[in-house]
């Protein structure tokens, strides 16, 4: 399927954006939905609402962001990206992000920020492996309780992602070059101790022993392939994953690490693995 990206303009398109939000997050209350009035105002005053339309002109996804500041620096704060269920796993999320990058760079802004659930493996691999994002901040229970079925019973902890739009790292990712470090991590060839590994498989996967206080250039952390399958099967196990990864990220980020990669390995079955690197984020200085 070929998709066309365009900034939303009509009331119909904005209402479709509201419907996509409900479908993607399973909100039971309209209080959690960004309404047409705010979407229009955002588009009018420097933010953007970018839609993806299929060959029949039906909107299948969107991304939404507003202007913001990061330590006094003007940035684009990307708040939502959603794709209809029927159009998922077609690369539409990445297409929307690269289109969003083009629009933001055209405004003269070269930093984009957003938060995401670090236990959602598809989002994690998109943000780091496909886009080249980086993170050095973990936020506890950012939204509190929402009416989304995806969040039910779980604290809404988030990693704060930084996407340096014109950096050498992001330019390379735009060209399909994810770098040798990510390749070595995916192949299991990177020498890095495990701070956390999973035990078991699928919806029965549980967090293993958490190793804090490690001191190495790189550390690895495994997460489940589907935290939602685990949450549905055993909420207590999903919360255990939240607690273990919360302690890991907060401890190691405070100790001077940042999150550099998240990949799906070449093993059978594949594993989802984060890579933490010791040092500070220097997007133009990272050895790829």
**Annotated domain spans of the chain:** 1-106, 110-288
d(CA 176, CA 158): 27
Give the Cβ contact number of residue 139 at 10 Å. 14
> For domain 1-106, which CATH number applies: 1.20.140.10, 2.40.128.90, 3.30.379.10, 3.40.630.30?
3.40.630.30
Q: Which residues of the chain have pLDDT under 50?
A: none
Tokens 């992001």 correspond to: 170
pLDDT in tens, 32-51: 899 999 999 999 999 999 99
- Beta strand spans in the chain (E): 4-7, 48-53, 59-70, 73-83, 111-116, 134-139, 158-164, 194-196, 198-199, 206-207, 218-223, 257-264, 272-278
Q: What is the pLDDT of residue 90?
A: 85
pTM above 0.75, yes or no: yes
Q: What is the pLDDT of residue 72?
A: 92
pLDDT in tens, 232-286: 999 999 999 999 999 999 999 999 999 999 999 999 999 999 999 999 998 777 7
Q: What is the pLDDT of residue 248?
A: 98
Which of these, 111, 116, 36, lies nearest to 68 by C-alpha position? 111
Q: What is the pLDDT of residue 274?
A: 98
Residues 6+ apart with CB under 8 A from 236: none
Backbone dihedral region for residue 189 (phi beyond 0: left; psi -120 to 50: alpha; all else: beta): alpha
Q: What is the pLDDT of residue 98?
A: 98
């Amino acid at each position: 399927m070929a998709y066309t990206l365009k900034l939303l303009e009509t009331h119909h398109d904005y209402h479709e954006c509201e419907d996509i939000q409900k479908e993607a997050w399973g909100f039971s209350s309209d209080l959690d939905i960004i309404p047409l009035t705010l979407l229009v105002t955002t588009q009018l005053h420097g933010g953007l609402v970018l839609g993806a339309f299929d060959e029949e002109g039906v909107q299948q996804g969107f991304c939404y962001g507003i202007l913001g500041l990061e330590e006094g620096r003007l940035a684009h704060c990307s708040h939502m990206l959603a794709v209809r269920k029927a159009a998922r796993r077609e690369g539409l999320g990445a297409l929307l992000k690269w289109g969003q990058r083009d629009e933001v760079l055209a405004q003269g802004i070269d930093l984009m920020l957003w938060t995401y659930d670090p236990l959602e493996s598809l989002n994690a691999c998109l943000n780091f492996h496909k886009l080249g994002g980086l993170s050095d901040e973990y936020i506890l229970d950012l939204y509190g309780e929402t009416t989304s079925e995806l969040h039910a019973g779980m604290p809404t902890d988030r990693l704060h992602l930084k996407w340096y739009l014109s950096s050498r790292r992001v330019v390379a990712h735009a060209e399909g070059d994810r770098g040798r470090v990510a390749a070595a991590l995916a192949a299991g060839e990177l020498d890095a101790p495990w701070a956390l590994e999973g035990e078991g498989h699928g919806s029965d996967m549980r967090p293993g022993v958490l190793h804090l206080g490690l001191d190495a250039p790189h550390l690895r952390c495994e997460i489940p392939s589907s935290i939602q399958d685990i949450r549905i099967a055993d909420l207590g196990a999903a919360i255990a994953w939240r607690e273990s990864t919360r302690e890991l990220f907060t401890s190691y980020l405070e100790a001077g690490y940042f999150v550099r990669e998240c990949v799906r390995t070449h093993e059978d079955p594949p594993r989802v693995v984060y890579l933490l690197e010791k040092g500070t984020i220097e997007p133009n200085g990272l050895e790829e």
